Amino acid sequence: MLNNDVYKALSDENRRKILDLLYEKDLTAGEIADQFTMSKAGISQHLTILKQAELVYANKQGQYVMYSLNTTVFQEVVRWLMKFNKEG
């Protein structure tokens, strides 16, 4: 995991929205795409970036790919940001 990949992944509004959706529940690529006006291919590319940053897991289930959050990487970002935060 490259630290830079995580911040780059988080820098896109659509990708942050994907994370918000996955926070509610696990979703297939198609279910995620349904929440956007963008093409499925575009969403697939965003999912690849999130996967590479290790912010999400992808599990093939038959012809579907189920996406879920990988919460472990968020910690590192929070840890770095927390040091700037008055409230610790």
Q: Closer to its own copies at the Cβ: 10 or 65?
A: 10
30 interacts with, out of DNA, its own copies, none, CB within 5 to 8 A per kind? DNA
Amino acid at 30: G
Q: How far apart are CA 34 and CA 88, in angstroms?
A: 38
Amino acid at 67: Y
CB of 21 to DNA, least distance (A): 13
Among 45, 48, 68, 71, the residue binding its own copies under the rule CB under 8 A is 71
Q: Does 24 bind its own copies (CB under 8 A)?
A: no
Q: How far is CA 70 from the centre of its chain?
A: 8
